Amino acid sequence: MSAAPPPPPESAATSGGGSDKVLAAAQHIVKSLATSKNAADDMIRILSGFDNRLSSITTDLFPSPDLSSAESPEISSAAAFDAAEQLILLWDATPEALVFEAHEDDIAQYLTAVDVAVEHLARGGAGAGRAGVAVQLAMARLEEELRHHMVRHAVPLDPTGLCFSLRRLSLGSFDDLDFDAATPHSVDATPETARGGPLVSPFDDHSFDPVRPEAVDDLRAIADRMARAGYARELADAYCNIRRDLLDEYLSVLGVERISIDEVQRVEWKQLNDKVKKWVQGVKTVVRVLLAGERRLCDQVLAVSDELREECFVESTKGCIMQILNFGDAVAVCPRSPEKLSRILDMYEALAEVIPEMKDLCLGSSGDGVISDVQAILDRLGEAVRGTLFEFGKVLQQESSRRAMTAGEIHPMTRYVMNYLRLLVVYSETLDGLLDDDGDEGNALERPEDKDQDTEHLESMAPLGRRLLKLMCYLEANLEDKSKLYEDAALECIFSMNNLLYIVQKVKDSELGKILGDHWVRRRSGKIRQYSKSYLRISWMKTLSYLRDDVHGSGSGSGSGSGHSGSRMSIKEKFKNFNLSFEEIYRNQTLWKVPDPQLREELKISISENVIPAYRAFLGRYGSQVDGGRNSGKYIKYTPEDLEGQLSDLFEGSPGSANHSRRRT
């Protein structure tokens, strides 16, 4: 701190006769307030800071004390006020100087002068008019110094220090899943990355003081005097204006923007998604760091009045809170689409999490309106969650793309929906609460597709479980409709197997399995086995029919004449037809896809167990009737081992090379 305020450019001490008046006033102050030689020296030093001419005051003003007197003369109340008034006027004559940047003794002297003037005004009497002017001047200075001190000693938020772990939030949430009702696409995600867990703030382990601690006592000294002098309204206005502006700056550092509903409606989702992620962390930081700091600051600086500190806390933070709420409201009324659901859930959970803390911060009834506004936005976000989930069900029911998957592979819609449902489970506690009373909206989704669901388990399901079951029903019904797009019934079975197996695996590998239950999984696993059997029957029944004996005498392998000739021709025809049928299957089904390696291997084994023994037996019985004859290789083209090698190419999704076959010689 400087030793004393600088002299004014043109003070009264430098202007003719005014100099004598100021010098006289200064002498009076020294004489009135100084009670010893040392005190007088200190006063002269202080006053000379206003103008070096005041240093000419001499201590001759003070007669040597009468040692015979037991007590020093007391300063009368009027004399004390005169001195206080003169000190207030001297500081008022130097508006560029600041009391609270002066020496500690100077600050104490000024505050004492203010106390004397306020007390003199309260007593009334002859000097009340002068006291009123002095108090008014002092209050104007204190208000200005309050503003200056609060800004100068404000603690800034360093943006480089606020490194929240937003990267984890960006992984594996609904915004990674791209779903267009006409042409859905998918990116696989895992529920563990839906939300990155609690984000880390540098303030988690300690409190944040918005004003440097060394300035708090000075601010409280100013606030105490303004409140006692009847300037509580001016104090509140100055305090709230400064704190509001600083909180706005803090929000800007946190990346929480002031954005209107119209702007939110126009912004692209990718950009809005980033803003929402910042908002989610911003809400927690605002409440736990900024508002908690403001609460402490109010309690410390405005301790003079409970009513004043409650009012100032609410008024200074209301704008910050409303900026947060306005963004939440804007997102809540955005057009609903599936990819937004997780972000809205994040917003809902963040706001619900901090409401109890906000109630603790707003101690008085003045905060009831703010809490009511927060609750209203929370309710609207909850409505947006329910509505978005309901719309997702409608989209899933109405999705009617007519593009069949050429190779019978997993449909993008299946991937999207299953990953979507797995991510929903991450929010199970929140969704159970939100869906508990979904009323007519929930009933509108009722469909009877899953009549085989275990009734007891169905009745014991939580609200989210029942909703998930409905959505699974919609998905299965939609896939069944899509399977009808295939003209080849065998490929229809492959498509159904692939998709249902993917669904079952996603259920078993996540919390969905616990929610839907073992009965649900067993039923779908049974359907997969049925599709497998249907595929074998549809795809291979005709081919295997050429390896069976018929009623026209191909059973004994012996005979003579026309009967023997007819039998040989029949056998050749059977070999020929088998070859043509097998090769057609090979050409087609090597292009088909079975992504799951276990299912793919099981299908190949099942085919081999049905085809290879039948071919080997037929070849053993009738191969001799064809082998060795003219063009025998035309009919017996494959050994059993050749066929085994050919079957290994099936369901790989690429043209088979047929390099396993060899002509018999």
Q: Are 336 and 388 in contact (CB under 8 A)?
A: yes
Provide the token pair at 664.
């018999």
Percent of the chain with pLDDT over 70: 72
Side-chain-side CA neighbours of residue 149 (13 Å): 27
Same domain, residue pair 252 and 266: yes
Kindly tell me if the per-residue pLDDT of 638 is higher than 80.
yes
Whether 346 is covered by a domain: the verdict is yes
Q: Average the pLDDT over 364-381 and give the result.
A: 88
Q: Are 589 and 651 in contact (CB under 8 A)?
A: yes
When comparing pLDDT for 146 and 191, which is higher? 146
What is the domain count for the chain? 4
Confidence label for 446 from pLDDT (cuts 50, 70 and 90):
very low
Q: Is 562 exposed, middle or buried (0-12, 13-18, 19+ CB in 10 A)?
A: exposed
Confidence label for 112 from pLDDT (cuts 50, 70 and 90):
very high
Residue 356 sits in a domain whose CATH number is 1.20.1280.170
HEC letters along 57-102: CCHHHCCCCCCCCCCCCCCCHHHHHHHHHHHHHHHHCCCCCCHHHC
pLDDT tens by residue, 582-606: 999 999 999 999 999 999 999 999 9
Domain that holds residue 525: 395-437+457-540
- Within 8 A by CB and 6+ apart from 170, the residues are 277
The Cβ of residue 534 has, within 10 Å, a number of other Cβ atoms equal to 16
Kindly tell me if the per-residue pLDDT of 176 is higher than 70.
no
Same domain, residue pair 497 and 576: no
Whether 223 is covered by a domain: the verdict is yes
Q: Average the pLDDT over 383-404 and give the result.
A: 89
Kindly tell me if the per-residue pLDDT of 525 is higher than 60.
yes
Helix, strand, or coil (residue 412): helix
Measured in degrees and rounded to the nearest 5, phi and psi for residue 63 equal: -65, 150
Same domain, residue pair 256 and 149: no
Confidence label for 78 from pLDDT (cuts 50, 70 and 90):
confident
Kindly tell me if the per-residue pLDDT of 5 is higher than 80.
no
Residue type, 78: A
Nearest-CA neighbor of 298 among 150, 104, 152? 150
Provide the token pair at 624.
């001799």
N- to C-terminal Cα separation, the chain: 111
Whether 443 is covered by a domain: the verdict is no
**13-17, 155-159, 313-317, 654-658: range with highest mean pLDDT:** 313-317
Q: Is 612 exposed, middle or buried (0-12, 13-18, 19+ CB in 10 A)?
A: middle
Q: Are 344 and 331 in contact (CB under 8 A)?
A: yes
Same domain, residue pair 602 and 631: yes
Q: Are 628 and 585 in contact (CB under 8 A)?
A: no
Same domain, residue pair 367 and 295: yes
Kindly tell me if the per-residue pLDDT of 3 is higher than 60.
no
Q: What is the pLDDT of residue 160?
A: 59
- Within 8 A by CB and 6+ apart from 39, the residues are 33
Whether 332 is covered by a domain: the verdict is yes
Residue type, 448: P
Percent of the chain with pLDDT over 90: 56
Least confident of 437-446, 474-483, 620-629: 437-446
Pure H helices in 212-340: 213-228, 232-254, 261-266, 269-285, 292-301, 306-332
Q: Average the pLDDT over 180-185 and give the result.
A: 38
299-332 burial, b at 16+ Cβ within 10 Å, e below that, comes to: ebbbebbeebbbbbbbbbbbbbbbbbbbbbbbbb
Q: What is the pLDDT of residue 233?
A: 96
Nearest-CA neighbor of 242 among 221, 214, 223, 227? 223
Residue type, 629: G
Whether 174 is covered by a domain: the verdict is no
pLDDT tens by residue, 641-650: 999 999 999 9
Whether 184 is covered by a domain: the verdict is no
- Domain stops at, among 342, 374, 394: 394
pLDDT tens by residue, 260-308: 888 888 888 888 999 999 899 889 989 998 999 999 999 999 999 999 9
Same domain, residue pair 227 and 337: yes
Kindly tell me if the per-residue pLDDT of 616 is higher than 80.
yes
Kindly tell me if the per-residue pLDDT of 316 is higher than 70.
yes
Q: What is the pLDDT of residue 143?
A: 96
Measured in degrees and rounded to the nearest 5, phi and psi for residue 484 equal: -75, -10
Residues in the chain: 665
Whether 21 is covered by a domain: the verdict is no
Same domain, residue pair 143 and 108: yes
> Residue 359 and residue 354: Cα distance in Å, rounded?
9
Q: Average the pLDDT over 231-243 and give the result.
A: 96
Same domain, residue pair 144 and 217: no
Q: What is the pLDDT of residue 169?
A: 34
Q: Is 241 exposed, middle or buried (0-12, 13-18, 19+ CB in 10 A)?
A: middle
When comparing pLDDT for 58 and 651, which is higher? 651
> Residue 629 and residue 481: Cα distance in Å, rounded?
52
pLDDT tens by residue, 349-358: 999 999 999 9
Provide the token pair at 627.
């082998």
Whether 237 is covered by a domain: the verdict is yes
Confidence label for 564 from pLDDT (cuts 50, 70 and 90):
low
Q: Average the pLDDT over 95-117 and give the result.
A: 93
Task: Tell me the Cα Rg of the chain.
Answer: 45
Q: What is the pLDDT of residue 124?
A: 80
Q: Average the pLDDT over 98-121 and give the result.
A: 93
> Residue 449 and residue 481: Cα distance in Å, rounded?
13
When comparing pLDDT for 440 and 280, which is higher? 280
Kindly tell me if the per-residue pLDDT of 511 is higher than 50.
yes
Same domain, residue pair 570 and 496: no
Region of 97 (left: φ > 0; alpha: ψ -120 to 50; beta: rest) is beta
Mean pLDDT of the chain: 80
Confidence label for 539 from pLDDT (cuts 50, 70 and 90):
very high
Q: Are 665 and 633 in contact (CB under 8 A)?
A: yes
When comparing pLDDT for 178 and 108, which is higher? 108
Nearest-CA neighbor of 206 among 155, 270, 260? 155
Provide the token pair at 357.
């803390």
Same domain, residue pair 319 and 413: no
For the entire predicted model, the pTM comes to: 0.76
Q: What is the pLDDT of residue 261?
A: 84
Region of 335 (left: φ > 0; alpha: ψ -120 to 50; beta: rest) is beta
Q: What is the pLDDT of residue 558?
A: 44
Write the DSSP symbol of residue 161. Answer: G
Confidence label for 7 from pLDDT (cuts 50, 70 and 90):
very low
Q: Average the pLDDT over 435-463 and give the result.
A: 59
Kindly tell me if the per-residue pLDDT of 57 is higher than 60.
no
Same domain, residue pair 350 and 425: no
Same domain, residue pair 588 and 524: no
Least confident of 107-116, 334-343, 653-662: 653-662
Q: Average the pLDDT over 492-511 and give the result.
A: 96
Q: What is the pLDDT of residue 626?
A: 79
Confidence label for 196 from pLDDT (cuts 50, 70 and 90):
very low
